[in-house]
Amino acid sequence: MTSSTLDAPINATETHPSLEELWMPFTANRAFKRAPRMLVAAKDMHYTTADGRQVLDGTAGLWCVNAGHCRDSITAAIRDQASIMDYAPPFQMGHPLAFELAQELARMLPEGIDHVFFGNSGSEAVDTALKIALAYWQSKGQPERVRFIGRARGYHGVGFGGTSVGGIEANRKQFAAQLLPAVDHMPHTHDLSRNAYSRGQPTHGADFADSLDALIEKHGAQTIAAVILEPVAGSTGVLIPPTGYLEKIRATCDKHGILLIFDEVITGFGRLGAAFAADKFNVIPDMMTIAKGITNATVPMGAVCARHEIYDTVVNEAPAGIELFHGYTYSGHPLAAAAGLATLEVYRSEGLFERAASLENYWADAVHSLRGLPHVIDLRNIGLVAGIELEARPGAPGTRGFATFLKCFELGVMVRSTADTIALSPPLIVEKAQIDQMFETVSQAVRSVD
Ligand SMILES: Cc1ncc(COP(=O)(O)O)c(C=O)c1O
């Protein structure tokens, strides 16, 4: 399919710029700056490091480079658009590519979800979706519906809205004093005692959805605007929904007229072997947040995709004038729109979502081949996603996972560690031999880290 060699010359002896001034995100800045891991180029399945090593990308960057790196047609589309029109204001003005991309997305989205509001990231998409939910209930004459229900261990980006509905304690505690007040969380669905080593969806745990009924009982359905969850939680360590769980959540939301938002920022664009998780699980939400793979991560872009009825209520039933007081300077940016159109064309013409589906069994076998390795306490897989959960070191949670990530990087494979779970989510162009390399490397790393 694609070549893994890189012909751009890399000067291995080049010195770094000063590392001091940059305040790095979600990074142990001081430790990184003592021992930096610098990436300088990427092509297809590989990164090149500053010291000239090839590193196999086991994570599609940050779950986002689904078509592989530096794809010619996508870079050409961005380059061409940059010289035609670099920017156009999106408020009270438009440019054709943003409309075209919205139309292309609407064609791919599940039936009934046919309107797209652009932002620049997953975090913006989440906060936008929450605002649209509030605007919807105001327009419906039910302004008391303001409460959001998220989930423990959920990750919905870093805006105040996303942090509030998110359920990762480490991300919340520095800001806990000022998060959104009317938010509650369901428990997560991770249950090693019943589901360890599940292949695909775990069998047990649809009953975790009953917690939503309990919250509805507690607060009253008439106060709840929306439930938001990741169909497969990624950032918190690959939590796969038990069979029947999402269906139950959907049924409960329907029963009480509550909006259901799927955060598909990582599950969108083929990651699970279908266009979206909604397709994979055949559970259709009312809104979806998407980002990352929409442009193959080349130009930042995110979006909220909403059911027709939501757009109709907020827009078509509003008095004349601006209907939603929300938007970003870069909503539907021309370079992002050009990148998005070219990316969707790559997905389509190369059949990458189908390719991911066809590799799912091979992938699952590779994941579960790690069973029995020291410190491995669970293996999880779905689509082209793997979670390898390691036993935490006593009193030092996360350190074994991080040491394993470092070892894999040294051995030439990029993985992610979140706490003590190693996550893999390669570009969908991955070859079987590269899957073998990833799991052989993880196996070697796990065995060498005590
Ligand atoms: C499910 C989910 N939602 C939202 C986000 C935030 O996206 P961004 O980092 O583009 O703001 C992420 C990022 O990983 C994510 O995984």
Averaged pLDDT, 77-91: 98
- In this prediction, residue 16 carries a pLDDT of 72
Mean predicted confidence (pLDDT) in 70-82 = 98
Q: Is the model's pLDDT at 348 over the cut of 80?
A: yes
Residue 372: band (very low, low, confident or very high) from pLDDT cuts 50, 70, 90: very high
Q: What is the mean pLDDT of residues 108-135?
A: 98
CA–CA separation, 361 and 49 (whole Å): 31
Rounded (5°) CA angle 57-449-387:
45
What residues pair up with 347 in beta bridges, in sequence order? none
Cα(84) to centroid(ligand 1), Å: 31
Q: What is the pLDDT of residue 185?
A: 98
Place of tokens 């229900």: 149
Contact of 346 with 296, CB cutoff 8 Å: yes
pLDDT value of position 9 = 40
The model carries a pTM of 0.96
**Which of 165, 265, 418 to probe ligand 1 with, by most ligand atoms within 8 A of CB?**
265
Q: How high is the pLDDT of residue 450?
A: 85
318: pLDDT strictly greater than 70: yes
Mutate to test the pocket of ligand 1, among 232, 272, 292, 296 (most ligand atoms within 8 A of CB): 292
> 418: CA distance to ligand 1 center in Å?
14
What average pLDDT is seen over the chain? 96
Q: What is the mean pLDDT of residues 347-353?
A: 98
Measured CA to CA, the distance from residue 356 to residue 410 in angstroms comes to 27
User: What is the pLDDT at residue 328?
Assistant: 98
Spatial CA neighbour of 384 closest among 362, 404, 416: 362
Which residue from 59, 266, 304, 305 has its CB within 8 A of the most atoms of ligand 1, so it is best to mutate?
A: 266
Tell me what the mean pLDDT of segment 371-377 comes to.
Answer: 97
Residue type, 124: E
Alpha carbon of 3 to ligand 1 centroid (Å): 29
Residues with CB under 6 A from ligand 1: 121-123, 126, 155-157, 230, 234-235, 263, 265-266, 291, 302
Strand partners of residue 184: 149
What is the H or E stretch that residue 146 is in?
none
Q: Which tens digit of pLDDT belongs to each residue from 232-277? A: 999 999 999 999 999 999 999 999 999 999 999 999 999 999 999 9
**Region for residue 141 given its phi and psi (left: phi exceeds 0; alpha: psi -120 to 50; beta: otherwise):** left
Query: Strand, helix or coil at 379?
Result: strand
Q: Pick from 363, 352, 384: which is nearest to 240 by CA? A: 384
Report residue 229 as tokens. Answer: 């969850």
- Which ligand 1 atom minimizes the distance to the CA of 263? 1
Residues 181, 372: Cα–Cα separation, whole Å: 45
Query: pLDDT band for position 10 (50/70/90)?
Result: very low
CA distance 382 to 385: 5
State the average pLDDT over residues 110-122: 98
What pLDDT was estimated at residue 13?
46
Gap from CA of 99 to ligand 1 centroid (Å): 24
Q: How large is the average pLDDT for residues 345-367?
A: 98
Structural domains of the chain ordered from first start: 29-67+351-448 (3.90.1150.10), 75-349 (3.40.640.10)
User: Please, is 62 exposed, middle or buried when counting C-beta atoms within 10 Å of its C-beta (0-12, 13-18, 19+)?
Assistant: middle
Please state, in angstroms and rounded to a whole number, the distance separating the CA atoms of residues 251 and 253.
5
Separation of alpha carbons 129 and 110, rounded Å = 17
| Of 388, 414, 408, residue with least CA distance to 448 | 408
Residue 39's beta-bridge partner residues? 49
Of all protein residues, whose CA lies closest to atom 8 belonging to ligand 1? Answer: 122
Q: Which residues pair with residue 208 across a beta bridge?
A: none
Q: Are 273 and 353 in contact (CB under 8 A)?
A: yes
Q: What is the mean pLDDT of residues 316-340?
A: 97
Question: Which of these, 262, 225, 33, lies nearest to 126 by C-alpha position?
Answer: 262
Q: How confident is the model at residue 131 (pLDDT cuts 50, 70, 90)?
A: very high
Using the Cα atoms of residue 58, residue 63, residue 64 and residue 67 in order, give the sign of their dihedral. Answer: positive
pLDDT of amino acid 14: 53
**pLDDT surpassing 70 at residue 81:** yes
Looking at 26-158, list the stretches that DSSP marks H as alpha helix, in order from N- to C-terminal side.
Answer: 29-34, 60-63, 72-84, 96-108, 122-139
Dihedral over Cα of 104, 109, 112, 116: its sign: negative
Q: Looking at the predicted structure, is the pLDDT value of residue 15 above 70?
A: no
The residue-averaged pLDDT of 297-308 equals 98
Q: Which ligand 1 atom sits closest to the C-alpha of 300?
A: 10
Average pLDDT over residues 28-53: 97
